[in-house]
Amino acid sequence: MALLKKCVAECLGTFVLVLFGCGTAVALGCNGAKADAAYFMTAFAFGLVIVAMAYSIGNISGCHINPAVSIGVLCSGKMTVKEFFAYIASQFIGGIAGGAVLLALFGKESGLGTNGLYQGNIWLSILIEVILTFVFVLAIIGVTSKIQNGSVAGIVIGLTLTLIHIFGIHFTGTSVNPARSFGPAIFAGGDAFVNVWVFIVAPLVGGVLAALVYKALAGSDCAAEEKTSDEPKAVSAP
């Protein structure tokens, strides 16, 4: 029952992320080639969703709402394989539900806030997404590694995602989240769906790298902190 509640929370959180984050991009006509008000408002929309969800469902599931975050937590030894796959399934369901609502609101021709390859280059796009996700997940693991950061973790993580989008929208539209990319892509079809694997694989690689690098850098300090915590799975929880 506890895992089911966490899965429902993850599904809901991912749904909200896709609906409000991608929805803002579509509603305002965000164009990655032009740094206008729509560009920055889209970046802040994604960040603000994380803040809102962190302080509402963070105490239930840890507010991963992102498979890249979950795989980083798994590699950090803070969740089981069973929990990981349950979270992933829930996040993708939430992303698909969000994409379906976007389709109903804006129509397929709007693009639904899907991601795209930078200059049509697969490998360059993968590199960009790995770097963006690495920075994002590293910040999450770092700020949540100390219990005393709990009250500000949601704000820090939300602002970090805003920063990631301010830089990354120009290149790929910023994914850093396989569920966020997959949900809209399956309804948009075309190149968005053909290339969605890039925005699934690259963020997962970035999440794994972030966990491994943090573990290597923190070393014994990280292990000591983990021993003092009674709640190992909370990531974004304030």
pLDDT digits (tens, 9 = 90+) for 60-90: 999 999 999 999 999 999 999 999 999 999 9
Residue 237 pLDDT greater than 70, yes or no: no
pLDDT in tens, 144-165: 998 888 889 999 999 999 999 9
Question: What's the pLDDT band for 234 if we cut at 50, 70, 90?
Answer: very low
Which class for 220: exposed (0-12), middle (13-18), buried (19 or more C-beta within 10 A)?
exposed
pLDDT at 236: 52
Q: Radius of gyration of the chain from Cα atoms?
A: 17
pLDDT at 83: 97
Average pLDDT, the chain: 92
Average pLDDT over residues 218-235: 53
How far apart (Å, rounded) are the C-alpha atoms in residues 69 and 60?
A: 16
Dump pLDDT digits (tens) for 13-61.
999 999 999 999 999 999 888 889 999 999 999 999 999 999 999 999 9
What domains can you pick out in the chain, each with its CATH number? 2-227 (1.20.1080.10)
Given the structure tokens 């003092």, which residue do they identify? 228
Quickly state the pLDDT bin for 232 (edges 50, 70, 90).
very low
> Can you tell me the distance from the alpha carbon of 97 to that of 118, in angstroms, rounded to the nearest whole number?
27
CB within 8 A of 132, min separation 6: which ones? Answer: 164, 167, 168, 174, 175, 176, 206
